[in-house]
Amino acid sequence: MPRRLAGLSALVCALALTLAACGGDSGNATLGKQQASPTAPPTTAAQPNQSYIASVKPTVTQISIYDKPNGTATRTMDNPWLYDPTVPTSKVPQVYLVKQQRNDGWVKVLLPVRPNGSSGWVKGSDITVSPNTFRIDVSLGAHTITVHKGGDVIYTGPVAVGATDPPLPDVGKPTPTPTGEYYLRVLLQNPDPTSVYGPYAYGLSSHSDALATFAGGDAEIGIHGNNDSSALGQSVSHGCIRMDNAAITELAQQLPLGTPVDVNA
């Protein structure tokens, strides 16, 4: 679940990065010159059952994030970013979920930073935008995950989610899975599929609201397999979403990074 998925940090040196699209991370803040934009250009409408992925171009090694179109650059993000900063080979190209596109080239994107739900604007010249018909819905109350492709449901099954009552003894407080709209930002293949993470783990753009750090990382939430299928359907994790191993193995071959993930109570 953290930046290196709740304990997966011990395995990261052996993990193989499987890139279905790209990923993103925060970097150093920069400032830009603010320009007036008296009239907002029209936006490009999204199609039904379709989202858009913004992949940072390989030639852009740092992308600036702006507070508004023609506004101030509030941060920069490295491209690619390192899943594990101690492993130079753990490079992941950066990707975002598109929230809004304007006809003048500015694109609003969801950011993989705290607080959850943060967004910013990027220049269209820095990214490539591609359509995506996959999406994921997670119901915490029902303990289910549903994967859609266009208007079709291609998988639904039970999941384990964050512990609430009673809390896990090692943290002593509830660690619920945060609700909201997020996206897949990195895919990891586990060299030991019998571990708690199962064969594959997706890192999401969300972070725990209960934990500031975990296992040396920033408590990033993940969707991953399991080593105990009896836990599925229960609230027993530090915030991550555990699912069926066979299902995540199949989905890992299909879902591009940048796929939206809606987590509902």
* Residue 204: strand pairing partners: 184
Residues contacting residue 177 through CB under 8 Å, at least 6 positions apart: 138, 140, 161, 162, 221, 237, 239, 240, 241, 263
Q: Where, residue-wise, is CATH 2.40.440.10 in the chain?
A: 8-17+133-264
CATH of 43-132, one of 3.30.2350.10, 2.102.10.10, 3.40.50.2300, 2.30.30.40: 2.30.30.40
- Mean pLDDT over residues 177-188, rounded? 98
Do residues 181 and 255 touch, judged by C-beta distance below 8 A? no
State the catalytic residue, choosing from 148, 207, 224, 238.
Answer: 224
Q: How confident is the model at residue 47 (pLDDT cuts 50, 70, 90)?
A: confident
Note if 143 is an active site residue: no
Catalytic residue among 22, 148, 238, 240: 240
Contact of 12 with 83, CB cutoff 8 Å = yes
What spatial distance separates the first Cα and last Cα of the chain, rounded to whole Å? Answer: 19
- Name the percent of the chain lying above pLDDT 90: 78
Position of tokens 């690619």? Answer: 80
In order, the DSSP letters of 29-65 are ----------SPPPEEPPPTT-EEEEEEPTT-SEEEE
Distance CA 62, CA 57 (A): 10
Lowest mean pLDDT among 65-69, 85-89, 100-104, 216-220: 216-220
Domain 8-17+133-264 top-level CATH class? mainly beta
Please list the residue range(s) of the chain that carry CATH number 2.30.30.40.
Answer: 43-132
* pLDDT (0 to 100) of residue 43: 58
What's the pTM value of the predicted model, to 2 decimals?
0.85
List all residues 6 or more positions away from 165 whose beta carbon is below 8 Å from its beta carbon: 174
CA-to-CA distance for 66 and 119, rounded, in angstroms? 9
Confidence of residue 30 (pLDDT cuts 50, 70, 90): very low
116-167 confidence digits (pLDDT tens): 999 999 999 999 999 999 999 999 999 999 999 999 999 999 999 999 999 9
Residue at 55: amino acid letter: S
Q: Would you call 231 helix, strand, or coil by DSSP?
A: helix
Known catalytic membership, residue 224: yes
Task: Point out which residues pair with 139 in neighbouring strands.
Answer: 144, 264
**Mean per-residue pLDDT, 18-43:** 32
pLDDT for the residue 45: 57
CB 264 within 8 A of CB 135: no
Instruction: Give me the pLDDT at residue 53, please.
Output: 98
CB 238 within 8 A of CB 6: yes
Flag whether pLDDT at 26 surpasses 70: no
Q: What is the pLDDT of residues 228-253, one digit of tens each?
A: 999 999 999 999 999 999 999 999 99
Top-confidence residue, 218 or 207: 207
pLDDT of residue 64 exceeding 70, the answer is yes
Question: What is the Cα–Cα distance from 55 to 46, expressed in whole angstroms?
Answer: 17
| Nearest-angstrom CA–CA distance, 165 and 163 | 6
